[in-house]
Chains A and B, each alone.
Chain A
Amino acid sequence: MEAGAHELTAAYALDALDVDEREAYERHLAGCEHCQAELATMWETTEALAVAATGTEPRPELRERILSAARAEPHVVVPLVPRRSRAVPVLAAAAAIAAVIALAVGLWGVGVSSDLDEARSALERERATAAVLADPEARSVALEVGDGRVVVASDGRAVVVLDALGPAPEDKTYQLWIVPAGDIAAATSGGLFAGEDAADGTLVEGTVANGDLVAVTVEDEGGVAAPTTDPIVASEPV
């Protein structure tokens, strides 16, 4: 399978694999950046094929039928982005590869509400996080220290995605920092977070500018005005 798997990307994008082949390909895909990037490109083309089939409008009843069926389903609220360990479908399995592909895919969106900027409730923070992650112009910045990445939206908002960060030690908290030009003395707080859901993405309070670093330190509960410990996470300049 491995040797020939690359060749199956086109057939997969066209849904021209039988069930066994499809599953085998998805197992391969989860660990193959090359195929993920290629598939993303091919899917854009199959979307065009989908558009070319447009004709008859669906009956208006279909809309309500779908919404009723959705309403009738038990719907477990899950974290915004599932952690890799629980990721089942292929789309989630590929969560490991964020950076390069995000740019390669050429994400498209119609923009997000500016009022997300001011949002402070938990839900609004989640929405803002989603908006940053969905920003078609967003860049992914690697970490110098730690595992994960910083996703920087075109408007300077940033989300830190940390792959394997456990909960903060007792009586401690994680604190985010925006570090201008790497000058730790000039760092400003980017907010506090607990750590359990760090892989889902944590919105940095404030905005980052070119050359800034994003860093995380472990601080006493409640946070501090300036970092008192060495960063456990530090990004490259954004």
Chain B
Amino acid sequence: MSASALLALPASRRSAMRRQHTHLSDEALVALVARSDEDALAELYDRIGRIAFGLALRVLRDERLAEDAVQEGFLAVWRGAAGFRADRAKASTWILTLVHRRAVDLVRREDRRRAEPLGDDASALADVETTEEAAWLRFERERVQGALAKLPDAQREAIELAYYGGFSQSELAERLGVPLGTIKSRMFAGLARLRELLDEPTPKEGSWKPELTS
């Protein structure tokens, strides 16, 4: 999926100091982390840390807590790299999953959950847009937000409240006053639809059929 292509940041953006690491794939870096290679961990952080932090901040709405979630996520990478299976998921996906889970666990513990819609801090990238990296991130971010906006409202609501809000499916059913099965269907259909939308190379209005809202 092209959403990940941005992780192949320009090598010039990274330190050229670290041995051979800059040209290794994320997956090979994880294999090195499993051998206690700190430079490999640093390289992974340089590639994925910013996205991880943005995600954690989105969920937690607090910079200190977000830093905690990112740290715990990367320490989970450090401890668990040997358990990573490259035939199962991309390394970036795996790492972001670990960070997201920490963020969700933290937000539930702190009960800091909010339900604001996505995109209220759209100018956050403006000050660093001089870099190619930021331009890519902004492009991808807008692309995904555009796809989200095309989802039926109920599906988008379920996905955003779950992924960005940290609500469990049971909490969502209660909060929205619908059966649990409905929440499951909305999340499933929403993710499937979102995938289709993201896979469209050049989104054209009218090139997709609206789905029935579950």
CA distance A70 to B101 in the complex (A): 19
| Shortest Cβ distance from A52 into B: residue | B144
CA distance A131 to B55 in the complex (A): 29
A157 to chain B, nearest CB (A): 13
Inter-subunit contact A115/B70 (CB<8 Å): no
Q: Which residue of A lies closest to B187 (CB)?
A: A10
- In the bound complex, residues from chain B placing their C-beta under 8 Å from that of A57 are 50, 53, 128
Residue contact A43 to B97, C-beta cutoff 8 Å: yes
Residues in B with CB closer than 8 Å to A7 are: 181, 184, 188
Interface contact tally, CB-CB below 8 A: 281
Contact with B along A59-102 (1 / 0, CB 8 A): 10011011101110101011111100001110110110011011
> Which residues of B in the span 159-203 have a Cβ within 8 Å of any Cβ on A?
159, 162-164, 166-170, 172, 181, 183-184, 187-188, 190-191, 194-195, 198
A105 to chain B, nearest CB (A): 6
- For window 37-64 of chain A, which residues contact chain B by CB distance below 8 Å? 40-59, 62-63
| Binding-face segment, A11-19, A184-192, A221-229 | A11-19
Q: Which has the most chain B C-beta neighbours within 10 Å: A42, A63, A107? A: A107
- Indicate if the CB atoms of A69 and B71 lie closer than 8 Å: yes
A28 to B53, CA, bound (A): 31
B interface size (C-beta, 8 A): 92
* B61-87 interface code vs A (CB 8 A; 1 in, 0 out): 001001100110011001110111111
> In the complex, A16 Cα to B8 Cα: how many Å?
29
Q: Please, which residue of chain B has its CB at the minimum distance from the CB of A130?
A: B31
Report the Cα distance A54→B67, complex, angstroms. 14
Of the candidates A15, A55, A136, the one whose C-beta lies within 8 Å of that of B101 is A15
Q: Which B residues are in CB contact (< 8 Å) with A75?
A: 36, 78-79
Query: Given the complex of chains A and B, what is the CA–CA distance between A77 and B52 in angstroms?
Result: 26
Q: Which of B109-143 contact A (CB under 8 A)?
A: 118, 121, 124-125, 128, 137, 140-141
Given B5, B101, B159, which contacts A49 in the complex, CB threshold below 8 Å? Answer: B159
The answer on a CB contact under 8 Å between A16 and B90 is no
| Between-chain CB contacts (< 8 Å), 28 pairs | A10-B188, A11-B162, A11-B168, A15-B163, A40-B88, A43-B89, A46-B93, A47-B1, A48-B3, A50-B96, A51-B51, A51-B140, A51-B141, A53-B118, A56-B57, A62-B70, A75-B78, A82-B82, A99-B87, A105-B88, A107-B87, A108-B4, A108-B5, A110-B25, A115-B20, A133-B27, A134-B86, A136-B25
Q: A10-B191, A107-B86, A134-B25 are in contact. List 20 more A-B contacts (CB 8 A).
A: A9-B188, A15-B97, A16-B187, A21-B168, A40-B89, A48-B140, A49-B144, A51-B144, A52-B145, A53-B54, A53-B118, A54-B51, A55-B121, A56-B53, A57-B50, A65-B67, A70-B74, A81-B82, A92-B85, A133-B27
Closest 9 CB pairs of A and B: A109-B25, A134-B27, A130-B31, A55-B124, A53-B58, A48-B3, A52-B144, A102-B87, A16-B162
Chain B residues engaging chain A, CB cutoff 8 angstroms: 1, 3-6, 8, 20, 23-28, 31-32, 34-36, 38, 41-42, 45-46, 49-55, 57-59, 63, 66-67, 70-71, 74-75, 78-80, 82-90, 92-94, 96-97, 100-101, 104, 118, 121, 124-125, 128, 137, 140-141, 144-145, 147-148, 159, 162-164, 166-170, 172, 181, 183-184, 187-188, 190-191, 194-195, 198
